[in-house]
Amino acid sequence: MDTDRRRVVVTGLGLVTPLGTGRDAVWESVVAGRSAAVPITLFDTSEHVTKFACQIGDFDPTRYIDAKSARRMDRFSQFAVAAGMLAVEDAGLEIERDGDNERIGAIVASGVGGLRTFEDQARVLHERGPTRVSPLFIPMMIANMGAAQLSMTLGLQGPLSCPVTACASGNHAIGDALEVIRRGQADVMLAGGAEAAITPIGIAAFNSMKALSTRNDDPMGASRPFDVQRDGFVMGEGGAVLVLEELSHAQARGAEIVCEIVGYGMSADAHHITEPDPTGRGPARAMTMAMENGGLTGDDIDYVNVHGTSTPVGDPSEIRVIQRALGVDRAARVAVSSTKSMHGHMLGATGGMEAAVSALGIRHGVIPATINVDELDPQCLGVDHVLTTPREAPLRTVLSNGFGFGGHNATIAMTAFTG
């Protein structure tokens, strides 16, 4: 690691999630091991195979933005703006539109974008004709609009971007923001993801792929990474944004430092449109790159917040990935858990959510648990699983993995801040 490069710390967390809103509410749910899966109420599921998800039932965008602006945003953009505003508030960050706003930017990812808007306007086209399609259709639907709306709401004129790399999108957003600050192009970046894909076509499409759990009689027990009876992931939604800040900038304003982000790795499987490479070479390379980028070795890693989606193929594959990246002996002693067992798979937002939970784990000295594991799959042995209840332990270094359809892999390395 280059000891002269700019250091980057996390000073704020903004969370609008199925487990609650705000970092305290979310952390309380994580420590309690609560599942957020409930019957879907966002639309009629009577003809759908899967009838449940980790949805946000009480979200009111007008708590954060005016009603007119909210109507011009898809739900995922509303999540992005709300999470970003909460992150800024949590960081105690004051943004002056004619001051330092050119040194503050946003990289907020989305894997799908405005799916609800797309559905609504496709229906208008079919039922009422092409002249009745809304002129706001494109500006509401395109995936970059979560980041764009956040920058416009807060007046951010620094670097602005939106990775669209499926389920790795949130990790890529945080990693890209890390590098932007390291390069000196910004002092502060809001980074994370937002997603709102719990829609009729979203649920139907993932069901057609046989990717979703169909445990309709037990929604809260449906997301069960590493369990022998897992049958697919549970869809989640929400927004998760972190404030990343150059260290001296944060110290100058007396900011609370949650943790430090020290490494970022990314790679490709070049294998299949949905399935992971069975060798695990690509994801393992992302993990080793993140460690090398942060000046770490496998012996430094205390905990891996895994991608762990609760799918039959993906979960055992990731165990092999960890063994390949850290070595079999070290992997057996490294704590591992999947918080998707609680908040579901938030797609492009999940990397932001899991990075935030990892940061809070470092802050509080607690390793979150994988819940709903009744019988550990023999294919998923070889790591130190934290199951059912969280484990109190000093966390110095954490890796957070995100792996997406198409072979996108991204890992973030985070450490306790030691001055």
Q: 217 to each of 213, 226, 372, how far by Cα in Å?
A: 11, 20, 14
The reply to whether 271 belongs to the active site is: no
Q: 366 with 32: CB under 8 angstroms?
A: no
State the alpha helices, DSSP H only, in 221-301. Answer: 247-252, 281-293
d(Cα 278, Cα 363) in Å, to the nearest integer?
A: 35
Catalytic residue among 307, 343, 385, 408: 307
Q: Can you count the helices (H) and strands (E) in the chain?
A: 14, 16
> Sign of torsion, CA 304 267 104 25?
negative
CA-based nearest residue to 224, from 368, 338, 30, 372: 372
Reduced to 3 states, what is the DSSP secondary structure of residue 402?
strand
Q: 106 with 81: CB under 8 angstroms?
A: no
Q: Where are the beta strands (DSSP E) in 269-320?
A: 303-305
Q: For residue 221, what are its two tokens? A: 């027990």
Q: 266 with 410: CB under 8 angstroms?
A: yes
First-last CA distance in the chain: 16
> Sign of torsion, CA 392 393 396 401?
negative
d(Cα 400, Cα 287) in Å, to the nearest integer?
A: 9
The reply to whether 167 belongs to the active site is: yes
Catalytic residue among 172, 345, 385, 408: 345
The reply to whether 307 belongs to the active site is: yes
Q: Report the run of H or E that residue 105 belongs to, with start and end.
A: strand 104-109
CA-based nearest residue to 35, from 224, 238, 192, 277: 224
Q: Which residues are catalytic?
A: 167, 307, 345
